[in-house]
Structure 1
Amino acid sequence: NYCNLDDQPAFKGVNTTTEFMTKYIFDMLAAAARADSLGRKGSELSAIRVTISESHIARAWYEAAIH
C-alpha cells in the first residue's frame, strides 16, 4: 500500500530520503541477522547491502559489515 513515509509516526521529523531509507532498512536487517531471524544464522553473513532505485538513473545504497 502506498503511503507518504514522512506522514508515518516512525519517521516523524525525519526527511525520508532514499539515502536515509537505505540505512534504516540496513539497520533493521542487521538487527534481524544478529538475532538469527533471516532464515539463516547471522554468523553466516559478513555484510549486507541495501539498494533502492528511484528511477533508471537514480539510486542509493548502503553497505556495511555486520558486527
Structure 2
Amino acid sequence: MIQFKLEGEFIPLIQLLKATGLVQSGGEAQTLVEDGLVKYNGQVDYRKRLKVRKGDIVEFISQKITVI
C-alpha cells in the first residue's frame, strides 16, 4: 500500500497517479482512467479531473493509494 501525503485541499486523480510513480505520463494515466482500470473508494470511476481528498483510497492494478 502506498501512503500519499496531501499538501492541499485535493489533488487531481491523474496527478496522483503520476506523483506516486504508477504511470509515466498524464496521457497514460488519462487512458487508464478512461478504460475503467482505476477504482476510487472501491468503485470504478471514469472522471479524469476527479478531486482526490484526504481519506480517499485509489486502487490501480494491485496497488492501493491511501491519501493522508
TM-score normalised by length of structure 1: 0.27
> Which has the greater radius of gyration?
1
Structure with the larger helix share: 1
Structure with the larger strand share: 2
Q: Which has the higher contact order (CA 8 A, sep 6+)?
A: 2
